[in-house]
Structure 1
Amino acid sequence: MAEIRDVEVVVFDVLGTLVDEPGGLRAAIREAVPACDDASVDELLALWQRYVEGEQHRIAQGHRPYANTEIIDGEAAGGVADQAGLADPATIARLATAARRLPPWSDSVAGLERLARHFPVLCLSNAGRTTLMRLGAHAGLRWHQALSGESALAYKPAQEVYQLALDTAGCPPERVLMVAAHDWDLRAAQARGMRTAYVQRPVGDPPTGSDAFDWQFNGLDELVTALTAP
């Protein structure tokens, strides 16, 4: 049985775990196309998400060379613009960078701040390096190092992305804790030997009955309290 006191380094997923990605994209679409009603915004968001997921899958399957999220988000924004009849280049360009302005969950900023006083904190994200830097600054998120799948030319759940965190942590995998709101993310980290903690989020992917993650928490406050308890 894993002991939480054995954890030396904490690694966080970002999109969906620390920030509300769908909510931020929805707000950016609404800003770009203010005449859209809620149903139309949801349709445009779904179009964006399907495109991004599809292109990342194509890259994982070797059907497309690696392209970072700034490129793929730009393509997704172009598709949304075409669907919505949006033609203004400046508006489309701003929409393409929406991932730099995603809002943090209400407990993310304070939770990371508390945790960073006790542990090295890394983030490990599919977001490209530039997006990750801008997003961290916008949302006020504190970590000691930001790691992007761009450095491995791959997207999670590819194993080489998790190896970036392990190489940076400099300790055995069983002393590195991966925190995410996505079951698929934690399964991949678990396969690499990392400890795993699921944090519940409104837009997350909850564990299934066959998942056996080390810990589950209702939010970041619970996780931080468990890690920092004497």
Structure 2
Amino acid sequence: MTALRDIEVVVFDILGTLVDESGGLRAAIRAALPTPSDDASVSALLTVWQQHHEREQHRIEQGRRAYANTATLDAEAAQQVADRAGLTDPATISRLATAGRRLPPWPDSVAGLERLTRHYPVLGLSNASRTTLLRLNAHAGLRWHQALSAEAASAYKPAPEVYQLAIDAAGCPPQRVLMVAAHAWDLRGAQAQGMRTAYVRRPVGDPPTSSDRFDWEFNGLSELVSALTEK
């Protein structure tokens, strides 16, 4: 197994791993509603949004829909939420559709990336569209040496061609590239392409199962950065 000292490039998932995607979307939905709503109602609308993304990305993966980037899927999801909630104001719906550009970083993300970029080339690899990723990075204050959108591959993770974007950009063997994510499904995809894997625990995400064998697991970004920089 590759040791941490052999890692040359670090690649981060962004949505859910470095920014609180569900929390940010929940806040945006709550702000769009014309009257105060209870948590259960907001959660139900968030589920509408998330299920639309999951369903449409799955259709794209199966070839039942042509590729559409997340900006398109966000606009569709926002309209579905609006229809369910009875929202009719175009400006409110339009702002909701761009909520993915304004997701808050987890408390350790900005400082952790800042520290790590002094020691390693660091890439972001996200399913977010190019424009969404640009605005999100600026809003959250995430520092990268390069941020890659799956839009360049016209696919969504865990499609192999998305991870290949990062491997090609790294310019080194995949076993020297570390993929970091809070989602086991994402790490499985990277692992299948020969990348090393590190799971970072977040309040929400997709934790490893008993059958997963990732290279490393950390309780937070600070723990991972310390392991990489103090080895």
TM range (shorter): over 0.9
Could you tell me whether the CA contact under 8 Å between 2:25 and 2:99 is conserved in 1? yes
2: CA distance, partners of 1:137 / 1:34: 29
Structure 1 unpaired stretches of 5+ = none
Q: Which residue of 2 aligns with 1:95?
A: 96
Matched, 1:85 2:81: no
1: CA distance, partners of 2:120 / 2:16: 22
Structural mapping, 1:5-20, within 5 Å: 5-20=5-20
Equivalent residue letter for 1:7: I
Matched, 1:203 2:204: yes
- Give the C-alpha shift of residue 38 in structure 1: 1.3
Q: Which residue of 2 aligns with 1:134?
A: 135
Where 1:187 maps in the other structure, the secondary structure is helix
Equivalent residue letter for 1:186: L
- Give the C-alpha shift of residue 204 in structure 1: 1.2
Q: Which residue of 2 aligns with 1:229?
A: 230
2: CA distance, partners of 1:87 / 1:170: 49
Identity of paired residues, percent?
A: 76
- Give the C-alpha shift of residue 7 in structure 1: 0.3
Where 2:198 maps in the other structure, the secondary structure is strand
1: CA distance, partners of 2:12 / 2:160: 16
1: CA distance, partners of 2:212 / 2:169: 27
Equivalent residue letter for 1:26: R
Matched, 1:114 2:121: no
Equivalent residue letter for 2:137: G
Matched, 1:105 2:106: yes
Equivalent residue letter for 1:153: S
2: CA distance, partners of 1:131 / 1:197: 25
Equivalent residue letter for 1:57: H
Equivalent residue letter for 1:227: L
Equivalent residue letter for 1:177: L
2: CA distance, partners of 1:60 / 1:66: 8
1: CA distance, partners of 2:167 / 2:53: 27
C-alpha RMSD of matched pairs (Å) = 0.6
Where 1:106 maps in the other structure, the secondary structure is coil
Could you tell me whether the CA contact under 8 Å between 2:2 and 2:176 is conserved in 1? no
- Give the C-alpha shift of residue 34 in structure 1: 4.5
Could you tell me whether the CA contact under 8 Å between 2:12 and 2:180 is conserved in 1? yes
Q: Which residue of 2 aligns with 1:61?
A: 62
1: CA distance, partners of 2:121 / 2:205: 24
Structural mapping, 1:41-52, within 5 Å: 41-52=42-53
Deviations 1:40-95 (A, max 9, x none): 10000000000011000000000000000000000000000000000000000000
- Which consecutive segments of 4 or more residues in structure 1 shift more than 6 A? none
Where 1:142 maps in the other structure, the secondary structure is coil
Structure 2 unpaired stretches of 5+ = none
| 29-38 or 143-152, larger mean C-alpha shift | 29-38
Equivalent residue letter for 1:224: V
